[in-house]
A and B are shown apart, each in its own frame.
Chain A
Amino acid sequence: MQLDWTTFLLQIVNFLVLVWLLKRFLYRPVLDVIARRRQGIEKALSDARDAEARAETLRQDYERKLAEQDSAQAADMARLGDEIAAERRRLMAKLDAELAAERERQVALVEKQTADAGRKAGDTARAAALSFVSRLLGRLSGAELDSRLVDMLIEDLATLPAEQLEALHDAAAAPEASLQLTTARALSEADESRLLGALADTLGRSLPITKQIDASMQSGLRVGIGPWMLAASLADELAFFRSGARRAC
């Protein structure tokens, strides 16, 4: 190959054309592609940064909400705890009140049962005592005891209160008044005489007399005058005990 200046110039021109062509059709598109890729990478990077920022925001938001939730849950738990404690206190108070009432009720019932049992025991004891006394006096009763009871009647007749004496006097003053004498057994003449004398002195007059024997009296006598009856007998005294015993219960 011949080297001259023309060729050299042409080669230079050729080279320049080639360079232009390369630049025009190859280099520029490649640069464009590179620029676009760079832009794409930058955009992707920007998007990623945005996403990261959003994710961070969301994470922070989530953590905040989580914290709030935890806080609310804790508050709810505390409130629930308070409510449970209050309800428990209420139920315990109610239970305590019920138990106290039940205890009080049981105490009252036990006291009542004890009192009832005491009363019944007292009743039984009194009934037994009356039975013993009745049997004992029934064995001991006789004419001598009758005579002593007549003595007691005469003695007490003289010491009766004025009000009672006046009432007996009024009863004896009735025109149809009479004495009804009931004895456990026939009185001796001496005892009957003493008795009638004392009655006449007390009543201010002698009254017609009717006599009756009632062995159930065990010993002693009863004297009926109008609406009143003077009783000095074992049966009446025991009845007096029995009546008083019932009243004491």
Chain B
Amino acid sequence: MRAEHPDPPAPADSASYSPRLRIVERGKVTSVGDGVVWIEGLPSARMDGIVRISDGSEALVFHLAPDRIGAILLTTTPALMPGCEARQSGDILTMPTGDGLLGRVIDPLGMPLDGGTAPDCSGRRAIEGDSPPIIARDFVDHPLYTGSKIVDTLIPIGRGQRQLLIGDNGTGKSALALDAVISQRDQNVRCLYVMIGQKRSSVVQTIDTLRTHGALAYTTLVVAEATASTGIRYLAPFAGCAIAEEWMNAGHDALIVYDDLTTHARAYRELSLLLRRPPGREAYPADIFYLHARLLERSTRLSAANGGGSMTALPIAETEQGEIAAYIPTNLISITDGQIHFDSKQFARGVLPAIDITRSVSRIGGKAQHEAIKREAGRMKLDYLQFLELEVFTRFGAKLEASMEARIRRGRLLRDILAQDRLDPHSALDQLAWLIACNEKLLDGLDDGELDTALHRLRTGAAGTGLTLDSPRTEWLTAVRGWLSTTAEQA
């Protein structure tokens, strides 16, 4: 039998409207617990529809069974108990959107968590939306600088790209994501940082870091703490995505960080088990792939006819003992356009950032890299990888030919140059300056202290230069020589 709700005729079709008896479905809450409510009845309920319960609570339909539905509790009241009446609202879950969210910390339902008033938003957007069709998309050809020397030169990221940050716990994934957010200052990129299932101390630290670096002004934090209900943790990335998607559709560039999708997968699994869904491969619900693919597929660069906006996604995935062949990591690797792998062994050796270049790849970022940086970076990654292979021989004390020793010396120099402190993003101009200095062998033969001074000089010089990435190389070379000669004189 078809009920009136949730599909009444639209009032736009006013000619067909007639006042009459409405027959609507009426459900009954049978059990409540763990952020989930079971409702009997409502046979025409549909996935992601909102159900209103007589006590004032609201729930999101998440599981359909022949005789009942399972729903995620969005809001609850103390009066919610079995026996309450439930009715379909005909609504779907939406998020407030707009620039009023910049600088705010909100939960996945759009409620403020920063003690402020409700965000002044220009609109609302469904948290579950279709990804843009292929004809609405454009090539990824604009760079997005993360501030990381390794990433911006060897594993570049373009606006609209989906780049996975993967590695063991505590290897610097979030730091790189924060670097990327901080680097967007004055780049006209709106940022979203989605924190899923993290401790309150981590949330506070992240907010403080962004505020300290002046990045909060153009960033929105969507926070679902570890203490939040499973459903809220599950909704967090979709809520963030909806906000970023609205910016993308308004013609802006957006950067969204999902920190992290492994926790999200756990929340989804927990939710699935609570709703007694059958587990899939490796005891995970099999549709987690579909879930994450659906989420990340919404990140893209739109064509000019569709506003030309972009949404760059930096999903974070945690591995255990560096095992990237586990279910969730392999899912995410296959969905994204590349991955930056963080190695715990490198981290333990003090090689920071602990990015494992051999396992990291950016499949489309090269197209977006600026010509000048691309030209200078050239074969650098390949040379560095060859150096890493050659370096193995030095462990055995083998005597190498002069050319090999030169390559090893150069590789070590490059490793020293690529070392970078946490939360210390470098500008694109600085990247070009050290690349030119390195390629012109101007940094060869410097000891550690001299190298640090030289790099500092290059950074200071690049920051105050009137040159741009498009300036001729000769001008850059003259400038770089000038900055380094100042260093030499001081030495």
> Which residue numbers of A lie inside 8 Å of B, CB to CB?
100-102, 104-105, 108-109, 112, 116, 120, 126, 152-153, 156-157, 160, 163-164, 166-168, 224, 226-232, 236-237, 240-241, 243-248
Are B305 and A104 closer than 8 Å at their CB atoms? yes
Are A167 and B1 closer than 8 Å at their CB atoms? yes
Are A109 and B11 closer than 8 Å at their CB atoms? no
Shortest CB distance B445–A (Å): 41
CA distance A126 to B14 in the complex (A): 13
Across-interface contacts of B42 in A (CB, < 8 A): 227
Are A153 and B21 closer than 8 Å at their CB atoms? yes
What are 10 pairs between A and B in contact, CB < 8 Å?
A: A108-B305, A112-B307, A227-B40, A228-B23, A228-B24, A231-B21, A231-B22, A240-B5, A243-B91, A245-B11
Are A112 and B249 closer than 8 Å at their CB atoms? yes
> Which residue numbers of B lie inside 8 Å of A, CB to CB?
1-12, 19-28, 40-43, 87, 89-91, 122-123, 249-251, 304-308
Given contacts A108-B305, A227-B41, A243-B91, contact A237 B22 (CB under 8 A): yes
Shortest CB distance B56–A (Å): 13
- 19 additional A-B pairs beyond A164-B2, A240-B22, beta carbons within 8 Å, are A101-B304, A105-B307, A108-B304, A108-B308, A116-B123, A160-B23, A168-B23, A228-B23, A229-B26, A229-B87, A231-B4, A240-B4, A240-B5, A240-B8, A243-B89, A244-B9, A246-B90, A248-B10, A248-B12
Q: Which of B9, B27, B91 contacts A246 (CB 8 A)?
A: B91
By beta carbon, the residue of chain A nearest B42 is A227
Given contacts A104-B304, A227-B26, A247-B90, contact A112 B250 (CB under 8 A): yes
Q: Which of B11, B24, B250 contacts A248 (CB 8 A)?
A: B11
Are B11 and A126 closer than 8 Å at their CB atoms? yes
Across-interface contacts of B11 in A (CB, < 8 A): 126, 241, 244-245, 248
| B interface SS class | loop
By beta carbon, the residue of chain B nearest A245 is B11
Shortest CB distance B64–A (Å): 15
Shortest CB distance B420–A (Å): 34
Q: Which of B2, B22, B27 contacts A227 (CB 8 A)?
A: B27
Shortest CB distance B99–A (Å): 13
Shortest CB distance B27–A (Å): 7
CA distance A104 to B136 in the complex (A): 13
Are A227 and B10 closer than 8 Å at their CB atoms? no
Shortest CB distance A86–B (Å): 19
Q: Which of A102, A230, A247 contacts B8 (CB 8 A)?
A: A247
By beta carbon, the residue of chain A nearest B251 is A109
Shortest CB distance A152–B (Å): 6
Shortest CB distance B307–A (Å): 5
A-B complex: 9 closest residue pairs judged by Cβ atoms? A156-B21, A248-B10, A167-B1, A101-B304, A243-B90, A227-B41, A105-B308, A104-B304, A231-B22
Given contacts A228-B26, A229-B24, contact A247 B10 (CB under 8 A): yes
Are A227 and B9 closer than 8 Å at their CB atoms? no
